[in-house]
């Protein structure tokens, strides 16, 4: 062990992971993922899909989740900086409806582990950001759910940049509230 530094928070299951960095005059090397090391810290899901996106300053993506095919995610930034957020949607969790955010950047090399049962989103703080993430299930376009990014009940403290227009996708402007999510979830008997 010792290859990974793990930071926890008040929401069980969420972890910020900092890989060991080996540097010299040439630059640096780090393992961003090694199944055996992650299994030692209690993360033993099998990642089946890697994704990468590029966004510009002021872009906010989220809050997204898969409904019938939930995914564990291991997210990181390979260029730039984002404020990354997970919202606990696990039924029966003592932190249900609570959020946690972490700054991820190419400089700090932090990774954020988000287990299934969370909504996820991020806001771009740098001029551009390249965001990479591993998932434990495949993306199913017809299975996507979401919450509106500025829901007043969740009350995420996004570090919105002054004088930078917020950029959202059309679908991210139409997600429902946390209250609507709870009402729909209750009607389905979950």
Active-site residue set: 64, 133
Q: Return the SS3 of 141.
A: helix
Residue with tokens 């008040």: 10
Q: Return the SS3 of 22.
A: strand
Q: Could you give the CA distance from residue 174 to residue 91 in angstroms, rounded to a whole number?
A: 24
Q: How many residues are given for the chain?
A: 190
Q: Are 43 and 13 in contact (CB under 8 A)?
A: no
| CA torsion angle 126 102 133 153 (round to 10) | -100
Q: Return the SS3 of 45.
A: coil
Q: What residue spans of the chain are helical by DSSP H? A: 35-40, 170-174, 178-187
Residue with tokens 């299930």: 137
């Amino acid at each position: 062990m010792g290859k990974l530094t793990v930071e926890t928070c008040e929401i069980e299951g969420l972890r910020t992971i900092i890989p060991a960095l080996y540097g010299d005059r040439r630059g640096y090397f780090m393992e961003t993922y090694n199944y055996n090391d992650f299994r030692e810290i209690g993360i033993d899901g099998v990642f089946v899909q890697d994704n990468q996106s590029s966004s510009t300053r002021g872009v906010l993506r989220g809050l997204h989740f898969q409904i019938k095919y939930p995914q564990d995610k291991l997210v990181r930034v390979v260029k730039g900086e984002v404020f990354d957020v997970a919202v606990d949607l696990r039924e029966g969790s003592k932190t249900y409806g609570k959020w946690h955010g972490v700054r991820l950047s190419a400089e700090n090399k932090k990774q954020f582990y988000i287990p299934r049962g969370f909504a996820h989103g991020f806001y771009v703080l740098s001029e551009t950001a390249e965001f990479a993430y591993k998932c434990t299930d495949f993306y199913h376009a017809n299975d996507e759910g979401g919450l509106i990014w500025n829901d007043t009940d969740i009350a995420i403290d996004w570090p919105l940049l002054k004088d930078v227009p917020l950029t959202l996708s059309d679908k991210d402007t139409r997600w429902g509230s946390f209250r609507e999510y709870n009402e729909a979830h209750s009607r389905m008997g979950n």
